[in-house]
Amino acid sequence: MKKIIISALIGIFIPLLSVAQEDIGDECTNIIITKSASSTGSVSICYTCDAPFVSHLLRIPAADNEPGSFVDNFPIHGNVKVKQVAHSYAVLASNGIGHINEFQLSIGETTFGGRRGLGNNEGLHYADLMTLALQRCKTSREAVNEIASLASEYGYIASGESISIGDKEEAWLMEIIGKGDEKGVVWVAVRIPDGTVCTHANQSRITNFPLDDPENYLYSKDIISFAIKKGFYNKNDGPFNFSDVYDPADTKKKRTSAMRVWSVLRRTAPSLNLSPDYFLDEENTDRYPLSVTPDKKLALSDIFSLLRDHYEGTEFDMTAGERAGAFGSPNQTRSERSVSVDYTAFSMVSQSRSYLPDAIGGVLWYSPDDTYFSCYIPLYCNISEVPHAYSIGERKQFSWESAWWTINFVANYANLKYEKIKPVIQKEQFSIENLFFTLQASVEETALELSKDNPEKANQFLTDYSVNCGDIVMQRWKKLGIELISNFTR
């Protein structure tokens, strides 16, 4: 009887969730943590991919490729054939969007759109550029140049994009936008100062930059001349500002995008007392700094918390008062666009650590669905397989075998009695994540010992551990979902 009731509830509940999410657009949030800003000495790229699809985690293996061959081992989103390189590196990815490679290079993105008319009908998509860069590069600087080179050779079909790139030593923010009927992109990239934290959220963040500092700033040769030719910029306008020229912000963009930037930065560096005035579109207010020095170095738990933000504790808190939905839910009214949203496809936090061998130092902390009620699992960057449950699922077909659906179900069920269910889910979430934090040092110690005599055995050990972590979350979340149905029926 209990199974019949649960099946009936799912049959009613899941279609409602799917309908409610059909009108959601693609939006994302990124946070870049540099080496000296991290308590673990990690460069981290944090990425919420907020879009209505089921995430499929996959491993793209390293390969020696035949001369004259073309890329065929991940779905090219664009409409061109890309020449293969002699050797391509192993990559962990979701739905063809690369995350981290075997050399600890990691990548993320947010779409800023930019001026109309700069899209093209032929070329590579930003997801293609990201994945190809991970297959071909070992450092973030190399990745910046590779992305620029690929877009120049094959063209670019997406809109304006901010791309976070991090390796074991440094992190870069690259911003690109197409040239309309012309092939290629105009672009600029800035090295994020060590010891600082940067964030971007669907608004171009790079403003003025020096033209004579190639150590810290790279850009396309025609970045200014193209803007002048198109009438976007005149030298009488003052110093060239990439964001103002290629992605002029209106009131809506400030509210939805700059607001998230404000919240991440104000939580990272409370001492700065950053004002909400810019995202409220008050006159004569300055933009938020590209990066800030955190008041304290960030642990993984701090980073996860930043990705679970609904403006709690501020006047814009979506979980309290008039801005909240029933039972304090931030998802029912969507009074603001927060960092954490219930339509996230997947999110990730990378760790790239120079003091460990690549196969051990590179970790992708990954979870499908809503960051607030999901649970991150550690996936080492050169594992030979991924947890099966994280690689499957169809949006129109609920399945307890799919990690996305299982985590999605638990997160969405919370909206029925949010204030009461939230602590139940968070207790489980914190318990498992803290277990993974506690195990990390001993797991890596064991892998280091194994790697001295047998690197392949060490990698198999890390693969087994990563897969087991995924299995643990799946087992616990299935149980949790059934308990919520049993304990919180109306």
Tell me, letter by letter, the H, E, C secondary structure of 96-107.
Answer: CEEEEECCCCEE
Residue 119 has pLDDT above 80, yes or no: yes
Residue 92: the pLDDT is 98
Reported pTM: 0.94
The mean pLDDT of 161-175, rounded to a whole number, is 98
The enclosing domain of 320 has a CATH number of 3.60.60.10
**Nearest Cα residue to 332 out of 414, 422, 258:** 414
Confidence of residue 8 (pLDDT cuts 50, 70, 90): very low
Residue 13 has pLDDT above 80, yes or no: no
The mean pLDDT of 47-74, rounded to a whole number, is 93
Q: Are 352 and 166 in contact (CB under 8 A)?
A: yes
Residue 74 has pLDDT above 80, yes or no: no
In Å, the largest CA–CA distance within the chain is: 76
DSSP class per residue in 93-161 = EETTEEEEETTS-EEEEEEEE-STT---SSSB-HHHHHHHHHHH-SSHHHHHHHHHHHHHHH-B-S-EE
- DSSP, collapsed to helix, strand or coil, labels residue 213 as coil
Residue 19 has pLDDT above 70, yes or no: no
Domain that holds residue 234: 2-487
The mean pLDDT of 98-111, rounded to a whole number, is 98
Residue 406 has pLDDT above 50, yes or no: yes
Q: Is 265 left (phi over 0), alpha (psi -120 to 50) or beta?
A: alpha
Overall domain count for the chain: 1
Residue 26: the pLDDT is 57
Confidence of residue 333 (pLDDT cuts 50, 70, 90): confident
Q: What is the pLDDT of residues 349-390, one digit of tens each?
A: 999 999 999 999 999 999 999 999 999 999 999 999 999 999
Residue 11 has pLDDT above 50, yes or no: no
The mean pLDDT of 20-40, rounded to a whole number, is 78
The mean pLDDT of 45-68, rounded to a whole number, is 96
C-alpha distance from residue 406 to each of 113, 341, 482 (Å):
32, 17, 10
Residue 72: the pLDDT is 86
Residue 457: the pLDDT is 97
* Average pLDDT along the chain: 93
Residue 473: the pLDDT is 98
Q: Are 350 and 105 in contact (CB under 8 A)?
A: no
Residue 447: the pLDDT is 98
Q: What is the pLDDT of residues 205-243, one digit of tens each?
A: 999 999 999 999 999 999 999 999 999 999 899 999 999
Confidence of residue 77 (pLDDT cuts 50, 70, 90): confident
Q: Using CA atoms, how far apart are residues 71 and 150, in angstroms rounded to an integer? A: 13
What end-to-end distance do the CA atoms of the chain give, in Å? 17
Q: What is the pLDDT of residues 295-317, one digit of tens each?
A: 999 999 999 999 999 999 999 99
Phi, psi of 45 (to 5 degrees): -110, 120
Residue 23 has pLDDT above 50, yes or no: no
Q: Are 45 and 37 in contact (CB under 8 A)?
A: no
Q: What is the pLDDT of residues 408-465, one digit of tens each?
A: 999 999 999 999 999 999 999 999 999 999 999 999 999 999 999 999 999 999 999 9
What percent of the chain lies above the pLDDT cut of 90? 91
Residue 326 has pLDDT above 80, yes or no: yes
Give Cβ neighbours of residue 343 (< 8 Å, ≥ 6 apart).
21, 24, 50, 51, 52, 370
